[in-house]
């Protein structure tokens, strides 16, 4: 008579993770504390938004990554399956380029350490990966991915070009000897009478 014992199952089951349901694993997502910066379209500099808390919210079969302020719990941004983005790791930063109607909005999430950064990157990629599109039409999904990458690369190229032009203007202006105009002495301001 196998399989019909009346003894209860032991309470201390092995914790190898094999008995955890996928839904339970998603609910056990630990929030990640980050510093949030944003770079808006047609801007070259980052703006500090403050400290935030990244969490993963599950709705049915889809999930999304939500960034809220640490103090007030106000929504800063969210990324889901419908978001056209590219996420990459740079040190302890995860830089996310989001393609929107007005251009590319870049988010920088600075985690505390390398393992938190890797968890953050993995959760963003899992939440934003367009699974349904890949299964239905892999070629269209690949084309969409390449288009997003191309738009973000073009935005990066334009920013670098603008920065080089600005630096060239500053250098050209600095090379002009404005201090050698007639009437100005190099020793300092004119004496007061």
Quick check: 54 pLDDT over 90?
yes
103 is a domain residue: yes
Q: What is the pLDDT of residue 179?
A: 54
Establish if 150 belongs to a structural domain.
yes
- Exposure string for 94-103, b = 16+ CB within 10 A, e = fewer: bbbbbbeeee
**Looking at the domain assignment, is residue 185 inside a domain?**
no
Tell me, yes or no, whether 37 lies in a domain.
yes
Q: Helix or strand or coil: residue 22?
A: helix
Q: What is the pLDDT of residues 121-177, one digit of tens each?
A: 988 888 877 655 555 666 776 777 777 778 778 878 888 888 888 888 888 888 886
How many domains is the chain built from? 1
CATH number, domain containing residue 30: 2.30.29.30
Measured between alpha carbons, how far is 83 from 80 in angstroms, rounded to an integer?
5
Domain span at residue 146 reads 26-156
Question: Hey, is 118 helix, strand or coil?
Answer: helix
CB 131, CB 63: distance < 8 Å: no
Report how far residue 83's alpha carbon sits from residue 75's, in angstroms, rounded to the nearest whole number: 16
User: Given CA atoms 49, 55, 59, 62 in this order, what sign does their dihedral have?
Assistant: positive
- In-domain check, residue 83: yes
How much is the mean pLDDT over the chain? Answer: 76
C-alpha span between 56 and 45 (Å, rounded): 28
């Amino acid at each position: 008579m196998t399989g019909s014992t009346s003894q209860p199952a032991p309470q201390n089951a092995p914790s190898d993770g094999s008995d955890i349901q996928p839904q339970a694993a998603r609910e056990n997502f630990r929030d990640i504390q980050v510093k949030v910066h944003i770079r808006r379209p047609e801007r070259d500099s980052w703006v500090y938004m403050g400290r935030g808390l990244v969490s993963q919210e599950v709705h049915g079969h889809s999930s999304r990554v939500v960034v809220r302020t640490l103090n007030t719990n106000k929504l800063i941004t969210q990324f889901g399956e419908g978001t056209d983005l590219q996420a990459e790791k740079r040190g302890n930063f995860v830089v996310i380029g989001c393609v929107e109607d007005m251009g590319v909005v870049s988010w920088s999430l600075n985690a505390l350490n390398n393992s938190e950064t890797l968890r953050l990157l993995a959760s963003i990629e899992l939440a934003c990966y367009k699974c349904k599109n890949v299964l239905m039409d892999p070629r269209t999904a690949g084309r969409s991915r390449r288009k997003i990458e191309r738009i973000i690369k073009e935005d990066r190229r334009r920013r670098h070009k603008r920065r080089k032009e600005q630096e060239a203007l500053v250098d050209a202006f600095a090379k002009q000897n404005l201090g050698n105009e007639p009437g100005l002495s190099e020793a300092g301001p004119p004496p007061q009478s």
